[in-house]
Amino acid sequence: MFFFLFFLLGCIWGSFSNVCIHRIPIEKSVIYSRSFCPNCKKTIKWFDNIPLISFLILKAKCRDCHNKISFEYFIVELISALSFTIIYYFYGISITSLLLVILSIFFIIIFFIDLHHFIIPDQLTYPLMVIGFAKSFYQIDNFFLFPNYINSLIGGISGYFIIWLIIFLYKKIRNKEGMGLGDAKLLAAIGFWFGWISLPFILFFSSFIALMATLPSLIKKRKNLSSQIPFGPFIVLGVIMYIITRYLI
C-alpha cells in the first residue's frame, strides 16, 4: 500500500514538475493558472490531466487540436513516480525519505530546464540552499549522508567558489565565459545538503559522465571543446551516484 502511495504521490509531483519545467524559464506563474495546450491554448480538463494515464489514453495528442504532446511529459512523471518509490524502498517512512523526495523534485525540474535552456533558475537553487543548511541543525537519523551545520556551511561556500574559480580562470585564459553561475549555485546547494566531503566525488563523476556523454559528438566533430553543454544534469547524476555509494558503504 505504501509503495502505491509513494508511486501515486510521485506521479502528482511529476505532473507539477512538468508545469515548472515549462513555465519557470518563461517567468509564468506555476500556481495561478490552469494547464493548457501550448498549441491551441485551450484549458486541459481534469480528466485529461491525470498523470501517466491521460497521456496513454489520449495517445500523446491534445483532445481538442490533436497536436502531438511531447513524450517528455510522460518521462518526467514516470521518473518522479519511480524516484519516490525507490526512496521509500530504501529509507522507508523517515525524515531521510522526506528530504530525498524534496531533493528529487528540485533535481528533476533543474535537470530538464538546464537541458533545454542552459540555465538553472535562482528560484530553484536558493530554496535548495536554505533547506540544505536548515536541516543540518536537526539531528537526522542518517548522519552518514547528511552533515552537521559546520560541514554543511563549509560545503556550501566551497561548492560555490570551486565553480566560481573555474569560471574566473577559464575567462582569464580563454577570454570567454565557460560555465555559468547557475552551476556554482547548484553546487553550493549540494554542498549545503551533503557537506564538503561530497564535493570531490560529485565533481569527479559529474565531469566524467559529461565527458563520456559528449565524447561521441567530439569525435564526430558535431561539437568542439568550446561548444556549450548543460552541466547541471551531470551534477544531478553525480549526486545520485554519491547517494547510492553512501548507501552501499
Q: Which of residues 93, 127, 149 is at a domain's end?
A: 93
pLDDT, the chain, mean = 90
The reply to whether 25 and 70 lie within a common domain is yes
Counting the structural domains of the chain, the total is: 2
Of the candidates 106, 88, 89, 107, the one whose C-alpha atom is nearest the C-alpha of residue 97 is 88
The reply to whether 71 and 153 lie within a common domain is no
Residue 62 maps to a domain: yes
Q: State the DSSP code for 33.
A: S
**DSSP H helical ranges for the chain:** 2-23, 53-57, 71-91, 95-117, 122-134, 149-174, 181-194, 199-219, 232-248
Per-residue pLDDT tens digits for 81-96: 999 999 999 999 999 9
The reply to whether 86 and 134 lie within a common domain is no
Tell me the mean pLDDT in the region 186-213.
Answer: 95
Between the alpha carbon of residue 74 and those of residues 23, 55, 57, 58, 224, the distances in Å are: 17, 7, 12, 12, 32
Helix, strand or coil for residue 32?
coil
Q: Which of residues 59, 93, 127 is at a domain's end?
A: 93
Distance CA 227, CA 182 (A): 18
Distance CA 197, CA 194 (A): 7
Distance of CA 194 to the CA centre of its chain: 15
The reply to whether 155 and 219 lie within a common domain is yes
The reply to whether 124 and 225 lie within a common domain is yes
Tell me the mean pLDDT in the region 219-230.
Answer: 76
Of the candidates 45, 46, 47, 40, the one whose C-alpha atom is nearest the C-alpha of residue 69 is 40
Q: How many CA atoms lie within 13 A of 116 on its CB side?
A: 15
Structural domain including 125 reads: 118-249
The reply to whether 49 and 87 lie within a common domain is yes
Q: What is the pLDDT of residue 238?
A: 96
Q: Which of residues 78, 93, 108 is at a domain's end?
A: 93
The reply to whether 154 and 227 lie within a common domain is yes
Q: What is the pLDDT of residue 178?
A: 66
Residue 105 maps to a domain: no
Residue 157 maps to a domain: yes
Per-residue pLDDT tens digits for 63-78: 888 888 889 999 999 9
**DSSP H helical ranges for 118-148:** 122-134
Q: b or e along 125-137 (b: 16 or more beta carbons within 10 Å of the residue's beta carbon)? A: beebbebbbebbe
The reply to whether 72 and 166 lie within a common domain is no
Residue 112 maps to a domain: no
The reply to whether 69 and 140 lie within a common domain is no
Q: What is the pLDDT of residue 228?
A: 78
Q: How many CA atoms lie within 13 A of 120 on its CB side?
A: 29
Asked whether residue 131 carries a pLDDT value surpassing 90, the answer given is yes
Query: Counting Cβ atoms within 10 Å, is residue 86 exposed (0-12), middle (13-18) or buried (19+)?
Result: middle
Residue 103 maps to a domain: no
Phi-psi map region of 62: left, alpha, beta (phi>0 left; psi -120 to 50 alpha): beta
Residue 109 maps to a domain: no
Asked whether residue 143 carries a pLDDT value surpassing 70, the answer given is no
More confident residue, 158 or 46: 158
Select the highest-mean-pLDDT range: 26-35, 65-74, 110-119.
110-119
Helix, strand or coil for residue 17?
helix
